[in-house]
Amino acid sequence: MDFGVIGIALGILLIIGLFFGSRKQGGSQSSPKRKGLVTGIGAQLRSINAEKNQVLEDIHDILIMADVGIEASEAIISDLKKTEPTFENLRAVLKARLMQHADNYLNSAPLQVILVVGVNGVGKTTSVGKLAHYLSKQGKKVVLAAGDTFRAAAVEQLKTWAERSGVHVVVGSNEADPASVAFEGATYAKNHNADVLIVDTAGRLHTKTNLMEELSKVKRVIEKHAHVTDVLLVLDATTGQNGVVQAKTFSEAVDVTGLIITKLDGSAKGGVIFAIQKVLDVPIKFVGNGEGLDDFAIFQPETFIDELLA
């Protein structure tokens, strides 16, 4: 590496970095102060006998390994300290935390409109397919809108699912704008007296501001035609603490009303939902646990907890 290249890189970047880095701006960049969680708990732990401490520490580790996250784990441990740290009490504490948010019902309306959102690869299209099947089995007339106009072959993937459960898919022209596909879907659903419209959307990382803006637009456009009754965020059970940020950001953009946890048939426990529910009041509605059409169920807190502790 000769001096010239380095000089150039440094020069350009330093000047521009210094320039923009020192510019006036009002936004605060101070990070929120952490509460002395560990020291606080540590002090409390010391006062209890050592054996009990060991049990609590083990439980803490189990929770951490299930992706429950530090804050939610500490909260659970602190609940548990009010009683004896037995397995049954742990189950009860966990259950109490999930039951506060238990809500398996979708909102009803003459036309239920369900928007399905999430980051890439969590299983949105699969969940849309399974949800369509689940609702058709209950005798509802379901229409799908293929709103993932971005990923290669996503529309075809949705069509295949639709064929399996015999529901109609509204497909936009190939490079259609997702908002217009959703709108066409809403129009079609109304004209054909459907009970439910499920709108699939492209996976998007919550950090991409423009894509999140696009999602808000999709919702606004549907709202012109029909009320969006549910916005379901699909969350991959293997996701770690990033799930909390995902839930927060998607909620800010489209006001998420419920979660679908997918891939619970694997070794991942999905404990991040405890962390999510600590900051966000969003119920878990469904779980996906396989690749088959029927591998989809209403969320059962007890089953979930048993699996988590298994």
Partner 1 sequence: MFNQLTQRLNSSLRKLKSKGTIAARDVEAFVRELRLSLLEADVALSVVDEFCQVVLEQGLELQKSSTLNPAQQLTRIVHHELLAVLGGVTTSLTFSKRPPTVVLLVGLQGAGKTTLAGKLALYLKKQGHTPLLVAADLQRPNAVNQLEKVAELAGVKIFAPEPGNGKGNPIKVAKAAVKFAEQKVHDIVIIDTAGRLAIDKELMKEVREIRDTTSAHQVLFVIDAMTGQDAVVTADAFMQQVGFDGIVLSKLDGDARGGAALSVKRVTGKPILFASIGEKLTDFEVFHPDRMASRILDMGDMQTLIEKSEDVLDEEQKQRFQDKLESGEEFNLEDFLEQMNALKNMGPLSKVLSMLPGAGAMKGQLDQIDDDEMKRTAAIIQSMTPGERRDPKILNASRRLRIAKGSGMQVSDVNSLVDRFTQAAKVMKQMAQGKVPAGVGLPQMPARGKQKSSPPKKKKSKSGNPAKRAAEERGESITLPNEFKNLLKD
Residues 267-306 that bind partner 1 (CB under 8 A): 267-269, 271-272, 291
Asked if 2 is part of the footprint of partner 1 (rule: CB under 8 A), the reply reads yes
Structure tokens at 64: 């951490």
**In 10 A of CB 107, how many CB atoms?**
13
**In 10 A of CB 247, how many CB atoms?**
24
| Shortest spacing between CB 236 and partner 1, in angstroms | 6
| Shortest spacing between CB 286 and partner 1, in angstroms | 17
Asked if 43 is part of the footprint of partner 1 (rule: CB under 8 A), the reply reads no
Asked if 161 is part of the footprint of partner 1 (rule: CB under 8 A), the reply reads yes
Q: Which of 113, 132, 146, 154 binds partner 1 (CB under 8 A)?
A: 154
By CB under 8 A, the residues from 163 to 202 that bind partner 1 are none
Output 243 or 283, the one with its CB closest to partner 1: 243
Asked if 66 is part of the footprint of partner 1 (rule: CB under 8 A), the reply reads yes
Give the x-and-dash track for 213-242 against partner 1 (CB under 8 A).
-----------------------xxxxxxx
Asked if 44 is part of the footprint of partner 1 (rule: CB under 8 A), the reply reads no
Name the one range near partner 1 by CB under 8 A: 81-89, 145-153, 176-184, 253-261: 145-153
Output 23 or 224, the one with its CB closest to partner 1: 23
Output 102 or 293, the one with its CB closest to partner 1: 293
- The 3-class SS string of 159-207 reads HHHHHHHCCEEECCCCCCCHHHHHHHHHHHHHHCCCCEEEEEECCCCCC
What CA–CA distance (Å, rounded) separates 99 from 103?
8
What CA–CA distance (Å, rounded) separates 204 from 116?
12
Asked if 310 is part of the footprint of partner 1 (rule: CB under 8 A), the reply reads no
The count of residues interacting with partner 1 (CB under 8 A) is 79
By CB under 8 A, the residues from 88 to 107 that bind partner 1 are none
Output 3 or 139, the one with its CB closest to partner 1: 3
Sheet-wide strand order for 142-147: 168-170, 142-147, 196-201, 112-117, 230-236, 258-262, 284-288, 296-298
CB 258 within 8 A of CB 232: yes
| Of 151, 144, 100, 114, residue with least CA distance to 277 | 100
